[in-house]
């Protein structure tokens, strides 16, 4: 046949395929979640997340060492405190679990980039993401404790803070407090489009953050909504967010695409615990090739428009990128 256009010409070898790739991945775009348990000494496997660990304050640098060995230079910290109360006061304690973890990491690895999750669910005895009034989360009162928590993280040496609570106005509240205390240089990564998803189960088991009653649908987004995600991003940007996020990733690739097209800020996606656990379970059952599925799902998130990815597979993905399996 006399065909002028033959797309297969650019698929004939790995060399030309790599040359013509539209989407390119780098270990620099990967962020690894680290769980720090204040009551723990050493390291303990996380039952709900095979291959992941809880680290005690004495061992958190082991997690960082492992990241660096794989070429991963960014993490996001999640804390499990010894004590919880109704207002989550351990979240902003000067010697709290995250504050001490930041100091330990920065003392040994000052150039390792530390992002901190700013929320109340891991610190409240009721498991909700803010201060309760009856059975409802008081939005405006919660802003005060979120800002106080973010400030304590910055004071301990965090490079970036990431509010995940989904309270209205929290980015503005945090920006005002950080700037007023001289931390104008600390960026805010806003969990802007965070959906009330069924994919969070393994994380909640790992972090001990499941709500003791009800659910989080009054503050996290309805999975039916697409345009609302754009509104949430617009509001966070107007309040001073430096980066925005869509969470979860795989079931919201359309939202990632629209946000990437609409906004010029760096866009983060979070491949959450349920996504990771599904791949692990399918692999354990012999149903899928874990390595290939890991690479393909991560690629889909970047192809949709994400600039960076929080993922429990960060280390393995970095290895795959260096090995030329993806990238």
243-247 and 267-271 beta bridge pairing: parallel
Question: Which among 82, 108, 247, 280 is annotated as catalytic?
Answer: 247
Long-range contacts of 12-17 (CB under 8 A, 24+ apart): 14/324
The per-residue pLDDT for range 247-298, each reduced to its tens digit, is: 999 999 999 999 999 999 999 999 999 999 999 999 999 999 999 999 999 9
Question: Which among 84, 194, 280, 315 is annotated as catalytic?
Answer: 194
Please indicate, yes or no, whether the overall pTM of this predicted structure exceeds 0.85.
Answer: yes
- Supply the pLDDT for residue 216: 84
The per-residue pLDDT for range 89-132, each reduced to its tens digit, is: 999 999 999 999 999 999 999 999 999 999 999 999 898 888 99
Q: Is 217 a catalytic residue?
A: no
Select from 197, 208, 205, 129 the least CA-distant residue to 164: 129
Answer for the pair 115, 76: CB distance below 8 angstroms, yes or no.
Answer: yes
Answer for the pair 237, 286: CB distance below 8 angstroms, yes or no.
Answer: no
319: CB partners within 8 A, 6+ apart = 70, 71
Q: Is 194 a catalytic residue?
A: yes
Strands (E) in the chain, as ranges, are 30-37, 43-45, 53-55, 74-80, 113-118, 132-133, 136-137, 160-163, 189-194, 243-247, 267-271, 308-311
Answer for the pair 194, 221: CB distance below 8 angstroms, yes or no.
Answer: yes
The 3-state DSSP class for residue 192 equals strand
The per-residue pLDDT for range 158-200, each reduced to its tens digit, is: 999 999 999 999 999 999 999 999 999 999 999 999 999 999 9
| Tokens (6 digits) for 123 | 């610190």
């Amino acid at each position: 046949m006399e065909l002028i256009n033959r797309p297969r010409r650019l698929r004939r070898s790995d060399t030309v395929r790599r040359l013509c790739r539209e989407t390119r991945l780098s270990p620099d775009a990967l962020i690894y979640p680290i769980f720090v348990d204040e009551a723990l000494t050493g390291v303990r496997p996380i039952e709900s997340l095979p291959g992941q660990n809880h680290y005690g304050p004495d061992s958190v640098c082991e997690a960082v060492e492992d990241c660096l060995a794989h070429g991963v230079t960014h993490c996001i910290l999640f804390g499990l405190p010894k004590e919880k109360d109704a207002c989550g006061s351990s979240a902003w304690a000067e010697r709290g679990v995250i504050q001490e973890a930041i100091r330990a990491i920065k003392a040994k690895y000052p150039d390792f980039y530390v992002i901190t999750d700013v929320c109340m669910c891991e610190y409240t005895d009721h498991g909700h993401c803010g201060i309760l009034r009856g059975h409802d989360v008081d939005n405006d009162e919660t802003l005060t404790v979120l800002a106080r928590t973010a400030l304590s993280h910055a004071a301990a040496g965090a490079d970036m803070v990431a509010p995940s609570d989904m309270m209205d106005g929290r980015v503005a509240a945090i920006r005002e407090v950080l700037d007023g205390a001289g931390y104008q240089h600390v960026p805010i990564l806003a969990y802007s489009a965070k959906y009330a998803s069924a994919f969070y189960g393994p994380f909640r088991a790992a972090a001990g953050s499941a709500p003791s009653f009800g659910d989080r649908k009054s503050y996290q987004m309805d999975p039916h909504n697409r345009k609302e995600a754009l509104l949430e991003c617009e509001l966070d940007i107007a309040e001073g967010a430096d980066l925005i996020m869509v969470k979860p990733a795989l079931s919201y690739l359309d939202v990632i695409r629209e946000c990437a097209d609409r906004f010029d800020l760096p866009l983060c996606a979070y491949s959450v615990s349920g996504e990771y656990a599904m791949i692990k379970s399918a692999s354990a059952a012999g149903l899928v090739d874990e390595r290939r599925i890991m690479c393909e799902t991560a690629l889909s998130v970047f192809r949709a428009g994400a600039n960076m990815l929080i993922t429990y597979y960060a280390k393995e993905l970095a290895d795959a990128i260096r090995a030329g399996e993806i990238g």
